[in-house]
Amino acid sequence: MLTEKRFEDQTPHPGLPQPRSGGRITLWVYGLAGLLICLSAASLTFIAHLAWREADRRALEAEQARFETTLEDVHREVVQDQIALAQWDKTFKALQQPSNKDFVRNELADYLWGDYGLNQSYLIAPDGSLIAHLVEGETRFDSRDFTDGNIVSELAATTSEAFREKLLNSASVFSGWYLPEAELLDVSDWSFARIDGKPAFVSAVPVLPDDPNIQLDADYPPIMVSAIALEDEWMEELNEHLSFKDLKFLEGAPQDANPTNHQIFAQDGSVIGHFQWDHAKPGREIWLSALPLIGLLATFIGLVAFAAANKIGRLTASLEESERKNHHFARHDALTGLPNRHHFSDCLAYSLDALPENRFAIIACDLDHFKPVNDTHGHEAGDKVLCCIADRLQVVVGKAGVVSRIGGDEFIILVTQTMEKQKLHALCDQVRTAIAMPVDIGEGISVQIGVSLGVACAPECGTSEKELFRMADEALYTAKDRGRNTFEFANPIGNTSNRKSASNAE
């Protein structure tokens, strides 16, 4: 039949989506089955890899958090050791002027170094001067002032200020000064610093009596600043809390991108050094445990996928041709095989999206003297004429655009490749000439018809389907009013000048 022939012979139209060719569904099914297997295996492998990385990441984060907490615990332990001596009536009285040097030399120095392992301690008077400097059991009395920027004087000042702020919350500076150990921890200050050129952990606490009935002068308290050198012995004690592998302290900024690098800074922001260790990596064990399971699941998924693909392939084989035809007839004219209005609108929308870089034109075509053919020779003859006209239009337009039948004896052309005015004139002339040729309708009978054309260019005549169709129709009606078998160009929007006929009736 004619419609079947036109379906089989239909050639692709540029710019329009085409139906899939037959036989592809089965290939797609098997391809998807294979892809499913690959994706499943890849997904399981990826998940295992993510689990590996996540386990390592969480282990690292946990160790970093433990390290931070341990440093705080070390600070707390050092402060507690200091408080044991700093919040003591004997120490408090010994540091009042004049200071009790015998107590400082014979008892306090022995406690700080011998019992608590504090390498150096500085006893700072309320006015900021140095009362005594205790270095590993040796005591040096020196009344010199510290220079600005010295870490010892800075910690002493901040600790003294923090203590005074606590006192401001009480009724008087001469009462309510007593602070429990927990609050003294808040008042204390600490930092990393270089003491005598060596990295050290430095902590400062106020020196107070342990008897709450003793009143303080406004200038009190003295400050005890102690330092622990970051040496092997201290590192061993630190790692007793952590149990890290290869924990070490290196001076200066890190030279590599080790994820465990934990830098410590002086109060001025300079890098003193960094801690580094070999963090735990539990992810490898997860990966080794997951590999057999990945292989088993991938095999099972593969068997199921190919069984399903085989079944679906057999079921879809008989539907492919039907689906292809249904898709074609949903978007094409059943008689001529040309794109229908819906299909043409999709192509036009595609061209509109490309404006203004890619200009185009639409040509509305209405056959002249077609109704007498139907009335005289019948609808079958009229159908033959329409099919012949469709073929001629496709030959003339070719790859320059898309030809569509939108109803009855109405056709429309989307021109995307030829936009010069002179070439559009030539195309319209070719269309008129081709359609004017006699059409054989059988039994030795031939008929001759004409065509009127209305041309609307985008974007000059509009940037929407509605505007362009309206302008093309107006130009088409003008062509018919001028005697038919002519073509007319629509004026650009806003141009009210008279239209100029592009050609006289033949």
Give tens-digit pLDDT for 410-445: 999 999 987 888 999 999 999 999 999 999 998 889
Residue 15 scores a pLDDT above 50: no
Confidence of residue 497 (pLDDT cuts 50, 70, 90): very low
Q: How far is CA 189 from CA 207, 393, 398, 458, in A?
A: 13, 92, 87, 77
Residue 298 scores a pLDDT above 80: no
CA within 13 Å, CB half, 107 = 11
- Residue 452: Cβ within 10 Å count: 25
Q: How far apart are CA 451 and CA 57, in angstroms?
A: 76
Confidence of residue 126 (pLDDT cuts 50, 70, 90): confident
- The 10s digit of each residue's pLDDT in 64-96 is 898 888 888 888 888 888 888 888 888 888 888
Sheet strands (E) in 49-150: 120-124, 130-135, 138-141
Q: Which one, of 21, 36, 22, 29, lies nearest residue 314 by Cα?
A: 29
pLDDT reported for residue 141: 84
Residue 143 scores a pLDDT above 80: no
Q: How far apart are CA 29 and CA 19, in angstroms?
A: 17
CA dihedral (427, 429, 432, 436) in degrees, to 10, reads -130
Residue 473 in contact with residue 452, Cβ under 8 Å?
A: no
- Span 129-155, average pLDDT: 78
Q: All domains of the chain, ordered by start, with CATH?
A: 77-242 (3.30.450.20), 326-489 (3.30.70.270)
